[in-house]
Amino acid sequence: MSLLLFSLRGVPDDEADEIRDLLTEQDIDFYETPAGNWGVSMPAFWLRDESELAVAQTLLNTYQQQRTINQRELYLQTKPKTLWQAFIERPLLYFVYFLAMALVLYASVRLLFEFGL
């Protein structure tokens, strides 16, 4: 009987590839089900043999802990931009955005007063 090992719904492609490689390297007999054309089916890794479940779960837990540490370090290395930094990089784009917002605000207020408030 097949056992669900790992659901792939919402999992990035690089993580799925790494898990696929990990299971293949450890000679764990598994198969993968895709999400299908409309995303209705369950994308997942399934084990064919119940006796490999404990080993596979231990491998996945270790992998997930290491991936969490790596992704956290990667996130901390990349600093998010402030609004001012983004404005300095592309001032024309932000000027157009602010102009569009001002135009919408002006049209809304003008219509409000034209209809008698």
Q: What is the pLDDT of residues 16-59, one digit of tens each?
A: 999 999 999 999 999 999 998 998 899 999 999 999 999 999 99
Per-residue pLDDT, 89: 94
**What sign does the CA torsion over 58, 61, 13, 49 have?**
positive
Question: pLDDT tier at 114 (50, 70, 90 boundaries)?
Answer: confident
Q: Which two tokens stand for residue 22?
A: 């990990």
Q: What mean pLDDT comes out for the span 57-66?
A: 97
Q: Give the CA distances from residue 21 to residues 14, 31, 60, 79, 112, in Å, rounded to whole numbers and listed in that order.
A: 11, 12, 12, 31, 62
Q: Are strands 30-33 and 3-7 parallel, antiparallel or unpaired?
A: unpaired
Which of 43, 49, 64, 63 shows the shortest CA–CA distance to 3? 49
Per-residue pLDDT, 48: 93
Residue 31 near residue 47, CB atoms below 8 Å: no
Per-residue pLDDT, 117: 65
Per-residue pLDDT, 44: 96
